[in-house]
Amino acid sequence: MKLRQLVLAATAVATLAVASASAFAQAKEQFFPALPYRTGAYAPNGIPWANGYSDYFKMINAKGGINGVKISTEECDTAYATDRGVECYERLKGKSAGAIFQPLSTGITFALTEKAPADKNPLITGGYGRSESSDGNVFKWNFPLMGTYWSGADIIMQTITKRESGNLKGKKIALVYHDSPYGKEPIALLQERAKIQGYDLSLLPVTAPGVEQKATWLQIRQNKPDYVLLWGWGVMNSAALKEAVATGYPRDKMYGVWWSAAEPDVKDIGEGAKGYNGLVVTGNSGKILDAIRKDLHGKKASTGPVEEVGQVLYNRGMVSAALAVEGAFRAQERYGKGKVMTGDQLRWGLENLNVTAARIESLGLTGLLRPISTSCQDHEGSRSARIHQWDGKKWNFTTDWIEADTSIIKPLVKQYADKYAAEKKLTRRTPADCQS
């Protein structure tokens, strides 16, 4: 009996030691879950984003991590389906004491906005999601960093207004949009500007995935809008451009949101898409791109093909990862360098970002990322973009950085945030809560 007790005791000690070692190993890793889509109808656009996202984490780990804390990550493919996105979130959320999730889908964002507060998982929805979630006093856990769809739509309309010498009265503007929460997001802003500027707005929804658009473009041929705004994703974008070619609609009168103006959208059309305009929030140069080519691709440690590095969606994924890491860096400045951050602490870090030009330079992101600063009230941080135009072979910038007009957007944000708060029985955060 004594011998058996000794064996059991020794086994328990060994098990405890292994468990402790495992817990310690986990404790020195900051977990960044990934919800990309490498499969499904939107995979051609989702893959380069996911590769850029993954490669940035590899680069940070190669430099020693976040003040010594290494990054761990795990992908769960959503195929851009909301139900699968929620399943992936539920599968991954228990692997840390709070983590930054990036849904890469407005539909999934809508669903996770209901879950994140209780789970204490911040959501970065860079350039997508609920536009009113820039109001951090209501949306404590949402961070639509680098611009919402209202900001994007406003910048496009500023560009068109300038092109028309400041007068859009009587002009026809058509919005061809993905018939989903994503595609519907810019409508409120466009309707508000229509009231102010006097243009005629027509709304043309396209059923997902967007391959069939003949009826939509028949309406465009009949109505002859002065400009077409494209709010598509994946195959919908190239299908729209092909229909524009077939119906003879001028591509230089088309403006796509930042998810409709990347290489996969135009490469198969080539010269046919020449003149097409689109938003972009990242640059196409930076020291980190050279480092990725050398240190990851040169050592066969990269996630995707080298040709993607520097392209629009790859850069977008990389910058999205960079902002998540910066949130952790910022949190460590308050809660302890070299420590793994909890969900609450990561949220505070994202809410207090101050990514200066000097910091961007130190990260090798000059030319890719603009300075961004957040607060309790402002979870968007920056709201500027440029227009680039396809010349048949490559994208070229045609404008400088344009700031969204907050005098139009802020009242909308408050109106819709207040409505959301009333529906969900939420109260606006207090100054004390903003310090927590």
Reported as a single tens digit per residue, the pLDDT across 63-116 is: 999 999 999 999 999 999 999 999 999 999 999 999 999 999 999 999 999 999
pLDDT digits (tens, 9 = 90+) for 224-281: 999 999 999 999 999 999 999 999 999 999 999 999 999 999 999 999 999 999 999 9
Are the folds of 28-147+284-374 and 150-280+387-405 the same?
A: yes
Q: Is the pLDDT of residue 26 over 50?
A: no
Instruction: Please state the φ and ψ torsions of residue 34, each to the nearest 5 degrees.
Output: -130, 130
The residue among 281, 282, 298 whose CA lies nearest residue 290 is 298
What pLDDT does 318 receive?
Answer: 97
Higher pLDDT: 16 or 328? It is 328
Confidence of residue 25 (pLDDT cuts 50, 70, 90): very low
pLDDT digits (tens, 9 = 90+) for 164-215: 999 999 999 999 999 999 999 999 999 999 999 999 999 999 999 999 999 9
* Residue 236 three-state SS: helix
Residue in the structure block whose two tokens are 């909308």: 412
At the topology level of CATH, where does 150-280+387-405 sit?
Rossmann fold (3.40.50)
Confidence of residue 28 (pLDDT cuts 50, 70, 90): confident
* Residue 80 three-state SS: coil
Residues 192-205: b if buried by 16+ CB within 10 A, e if exposed = bbbeebebebeebe
pLDDT digits (tens, 9 = 90+) for 280-309: 999 988 999 999 999 999 999 999 999 999
The residue among 78, 81, 88 whose CA lies nearest residue 36 is 78
What pLDDT does 9 receive?
Answer: 40
Q: How far apart are CA 122 and CA 115, in angstroms?
A: 10
Second-level CATH architecture of 28-147+284-374: 3-Layer(aba) Sandwich (3.40)
Residue in the structure block whose two tokens are 């996770």: 112
Residue 101: its H or E element = none
One DSSP character per residue, 110-171 reads HHHHHHHHHHT--EE-TT-S-GGGGBTTT-TTEE-TT--HHHHHHHHHHHHHHHTTT--TT-
The residue among 208, 166, 173, 207 whose CA lies nearest residue 189 is 173
pLDDT digits (tens, 9 = 90+) for 356-409: 999 999 999 999 999 999 999 999 999 999 999 999 999 999 999 999 999 999
Q: How far apart are CA 410 and CA 188, in angstroms?
A: 12
Confidence of residue 31 (pLDDT cuts 50, 70, 90): very high
Residues 6+ apart with CB under 8 A from 194: 173, 200, 201
For β-strands 402-403 and 172-178, DSSP reports them as unpaired
> How is the chain split into domains, by residue range?
28-147+284-374, 150-280+387-405
What pLDDT does 12 receive?
Answer: 41
Q: What is the mean pLDDT of the chain?
A: 93
What pLDDT does 10 receive?
Answer: 39
